[in-house]
Structure 1
Amino acid sequence: MSKSKAKASKKASKPTSLPVDIGISKGDRQAIADSLSRLLADSYSLYLKTHNFHWNITGPMFNTLHLMFETQYTEQWQALDDIAERIRALGQRAPGSYREFARLSSIDDNAADIAAGDWRGMVTELVLANEAVCRTAREAFKATDKAADQPTEDLLTQRLQVHEKTAWMLRSLLE
């Protein structure tokens, strides 16, 4: 077989991209994916902050918070995949770089400013960051409601339950 016929054969056998047709318009899918991208960025920022504090906690609260933070960042890690995969299921590209997350996130990257022994500062930062994720998730409901996107609404509801409970538990440590 000649080289030109081999190239033509490869082109012919290459699968074509099928358009996404899940009952949600392209514009609505884009709006939902944009909201989820902000949620993914906030969630990733929270994950990094929580993992950082897990590594750097010291003092009398070490064991309690070290284990608590590990439980939290492990759950957050799985959630990142769920959010990104929902963006992909909507036919959009999921953000995945530090630059994109920094641009999209509403969470301050000030974890390095907190001293290792300042457990109250760490807990306070995590309360604020979990609440930021809640606000971002709630904002995303605007796009999902408009499009009747129940799978994304379910994902958002699950994330709200986790982050509201986590914020409450962390806040209780400060009382």
Structure 2
Amino acid sequence: MADTNPALDTPTDLQRNDTRSVADALNAALADSYALYLKTKNFHWHVSGPHFRDYHLLLDDQAAQILGATDAIAERVRKTGNTTLRSIGDIARRSSIRDNDADFVAPEQMLAELRDDNLTLVQRFRDVKEAAEEAKDNATSGIVDDWTDEAEERAWFLFEASRKG
């Protein structure tokens, strides 16, 4: 991951080989974050039915939260002296979150799919945590806890919103 261009060499006291594994984990989480952001916006734009307003607003809030974390994730990669994602193609190659290009998705299916995708992102963040702790990257290890908590909360809200009264 480390770029061979000296202009991109960021000073760090962390070991380069260790930071590469952290950067790889962060970039995978970043790719999933972008994929989840776009899927959440897609469902936000196309949700329908009797709970339209509630779901529309919930998904918009969640999309904003996901997008809000992307810059911090990418900047952690750069702070460790590595390079981050550069393109939609790069995101597609690294993401484990599957697209949903269906013409129509029932609201209940939207919520369930996004819940599962957020839990996939939680696992990605756990991978980041493990790599960061192995690399003694305390800053990444600490900040990833917040991202994990946010993804778990989104999954919880999606689960609760989808329950039948």
Query: Normalization by structure 1: what TM-score?
Result: 0.85
Q: Which runs of 5+ in 1 are unaligned?
A: 1-15
Alignment of 1:13-92 (within 5 A): 17=7, 19-92=9-82
Q: Which runs of 5+ in 2 are unaligned?
A: 1-5
The count of residues paired between Structure 1 and Structure 2 equals: 158
* Aligned match of 2:142: 154
Deviations 1:11-46 (A, max 9, x none): xxxxx7485442210111111111100000011111
* Aligned match of 2:127: 139
2:9–2:82 CA contact under 8 A, matched in 1: no
Q: CA shift at 1:90, angstroms?
A: 1.2
CA separation of 1:172 and 1:137: change in aligned 2, threshold 3 A: same
2:12–2:79 CA contact under 8 A, matched in 1: no
CA separation of 1:18 and 1:128: change in aligned 2, threshold 3 A: closer
1:131–1:163 CA contact under 8 A, matched in 2: yes
1:41–1:101 CA contact under 8 A, matched in 2: yes
Distance 1:19 1:72 in 2: 34
* Aligned match of 1:164: 152
**Secondary structure of the equivalent of 1:157?**
helix
* CA RMSD between the two structures: 1.6
Alignment of 1:115-130 (within 5 A): 115-116=104-105, 118-130=106-118
Structure 1 or 2, whichever has the larger Rg, is: 1
1:137–1:159 CA contact under 8 A, matched in 2: yes
What amino acid does structure 2 have at the position aligned with 1:93?
Answer: T
Question: Identity over aligned residues, as a percent?
Answer: 34
* Aligned match of 1:8: none
